[in-house]
Amino acid sequence: MSRVEDLPHLSESQIEDLRLAATHLTGAKRRAFQAEMTLKYCKGSARQAESQFGWSRRTVTMGLGEKRTGVICQGAQSAFGGNKRWEEREPAAAAALKQLAESHAQQEPSFTSSIAFTRLTSAEALCQLKAQGYSDEQLPVASTMAVVLNRLGYRLRKVVKVKPKKKSLRPIQSLKTFTPKTSKLKRTQPNG
């Protein structure tokens, strides 16, 4: 019996579309999608979903269990892996840094981007945060501080002043060097 015969109401292209949709999802969203399609087209059978769609039976079973209980399972890597960002570990120091950077920031003169330029260097930010009472254990190193400032939307730049626009190439009449254009027709002077 072919796959299409097992699911008479789905064509081969529809099955391929369901497989493709599942590949674009990850984690709990993928399991929820697979569980929903298994309930809709395979009568809740993980084995039939495995044979029809090529999905892992264990993943479909986990998705069905999550749907039934409402409890979303997390893997060890996503739940416990990786380091938190400095802003998440030290929210008070991050708020003080943002306030400090904001006091030294200026908007780009042409207003073409939302990035704010700051004259505050990472070393100076560390010194000022230490002066506010934050310890060395709470503060990152200077290179990490530069990354944090970039993540907050501040770029280290010198003070930028608006450049004047270029002068017009058209001469101004009030200048001494102004010579009006004469017509190409020569004027004839009467003989007199």
* φ, ψ for residue 106, nearest 5 deg: -145, 150
Q: For residue 177, what pLDDT is reported? A: 63
Same domain, yes or no: 67 and 7: yes
Mean pLDDT, range 92-121, rounded to an integer: 76
Q: Is residue 164 part of a domain?
A: no
Give the per-residue pLDDT at 131.
Answer: 93
Q: What is the CA radius of gyration of the chain?
A: 34
Is residue 174 situated within a structural domain?
A: no
CB distance 116 to 106 below 8 Å: yes
Percent of the chain with pLDDT over 70: 71
Residue 110 lies in a domain: yes
Please tell me the total count of domains within the chain: 2
Tokens of 53: 């769609």
d(CA 50, CA 56): 6
pLDDT value for 20: 92
Q: Residues 54, 26: one domain?
A: yes
Domain check: are 63 and 21 in the same one? yes
Domain co-membership, 90 together with 150: yes
Instruction: Write down the pLDDT at residue 9.
Output: 77
Structural domain includes residue 187: no
Residue 95 lies in a domain: yes
DSSP letter, residue 181: P
Note whether 93 and 63 are same-domain residues.
no
8 and 29 both lie in a single domain: yes
Most confident option among 59-73, 74-88, 174-188: 59-73
Residue 154: which H helix or E strand, with range? Answer: strand 154-156
Q: Which domain-ending residue is among 32, 47, 75?
A: 75
d(CA 94, CA 86): 8
What's the pLDDT score for residue 76? 77
Residue 165 belongs to a domain: no
Task: Show the domain range for 67.
Answer: 3-75
CA geometry: angle 87, 92, 98, nearest 5 deg: 65
Would you say 35 and 60 are in contact if contact means Cβ atoms under 8 Å apart?
Answer: yes
Both 8 and 70 in one domain: the answer is yes
> What is the structure's pLDDT at 116?
62
Does the residue 182 lie in any domain?
no
pLDDT in tens, 113-131: 655 667 788 888 899 999 9
Q: Is the pLDDT of residue 48 over 80?
A: yes
Is the whole model's pTM more than 0.75, yes or no? Answer: no
Longest dimension (CA), the chain: 117
Domain check: are 91 and 137 in the same one?
Answer: yes
Report which listed range, 58-62, 163-167, 178-182, is most confident.
58-62
